[in-house]
Amino acid sequence: MTRPYAPPASDDEAATGGAALRRIRKSRKLTLEQLSQLAGIPTSSLSRIENTRLRLTVDKMHLLAKALDVPVEHLLGEPSAGSEDAPGAAVRSPGTKPGAARLTVDRAPDRRPERFCDAMVHYLFGADETRALDCAHFHFQPVSVWESEFVRHPGEKVVYVIKGTAVAYVEGQEPVLLEEGDAVHMDASAWHSVVAVNQPAEVLVTYFHGGGRGYNAFESRAFSREAWAAFPLTGAE
């Protein structure tokens, strides 16, 4: 069961996660030697971590979470009432409980890139048509916008430039130059495309489609310069 981080009682425990590790290991009925074999961490290091004499690094935390079959958050502190650290207990999201708020964690190592025209895309949180909001991390190669793919879909979209420079083409609008740290909000129902300028660019795209039919109502096409110019500019005389 994933849960928010609640700091342990003492500064030492907060720095090492030792108390949580010892509690979970014992609930699994594992010796230090057995956990060492599962996680690939020396027994002496595990003993020092449990006794708050060695800091539990992020790398070790992930190794131990995998070996113990628990969310990594469980190694950050004491469990909330009713948490399940018993052997064989299922790891659940609070969203699986009737009436509970949805919570989904997307781990970077679990993402697999997909190619979309001139971009490599990491879609965050996977496919879920019941979700009204989606998010994707794009790595664009510089290409002419007339070689890119234009899309439109229901809802709204925000594009934030993490690295590099990009240009956003939106139906009825002048092209918008976006530099590192810039963001643009648009009505996603208009045809639009974002392309990198001169060098690769990295952008984060968040879009609200409302779920349901909106999730699948994406269209895409290419535009020629002449076809794009045929759209009247919004507000033009």
CATH of the domain at 72: 1.10.260.40
Residues 217 and 118 in one domain: yes
Residue 1 lies in a domain: no
Last residue of a domain, one of 44, 75, 96: 96
Q: What percent of the chain has pLDDT over 90?
A: 36
Distance CA 8, CA 60 (A): 19
pLDDT attached to residue 77: 62
Q: Is the pLDDT of residue 80 over 60?
A: no
| Residue 178's pLDDT band (cuts 50, 70, 90) | very high
Within this chain, do residues 119 and 204 fall inside the same structural domain, yes or no?
yes
Boundary residue ending a domain (96, 125, 158): 96
Domain end marker among 96, 121, 154? 96
Confidence band, pLDDT 50/70/90 cuts, at residue 128? confident
One domain for residues 143 and 72: no
Same domain, 135 and 214: yes
Q: Examine the domain organization and report whether 186 and 113 are in the same domain.
A: yes
What percentage of the chain has pLDDT greater than the value 70?
82
- Domain housing 221: 108-229
Per-residue DSSP letter, 133: E
**Sheet with 166-170, side-by-side order of all strands:** 176-178, 166-170, 192-196, 150-152, 219-221
Q: Do the Cβ atoms of 93 and 103 come closer than 8 Å?
A: yes
pTM beyond cutoff 0.85 = no
- Phi and psi of 124, rounded to 5°? -90, 140
Identify the residue with better confidence: 91 or 206: 206
How many domains are contained in the chain? 2
Q: Is residue 64 part of a domain?
A: yes
Could you tell me the pLDDT band of residue 116, with boundaries at 50, 70 and 90? confident
End-to-end CA distance of the chain: 59
Maximal C-alpha separation, the chain:
78
Which token pair is 128? Answer: 């879920």
Looking at the structure, tell me whether residues 141 and 214 fall in a common domain: yes
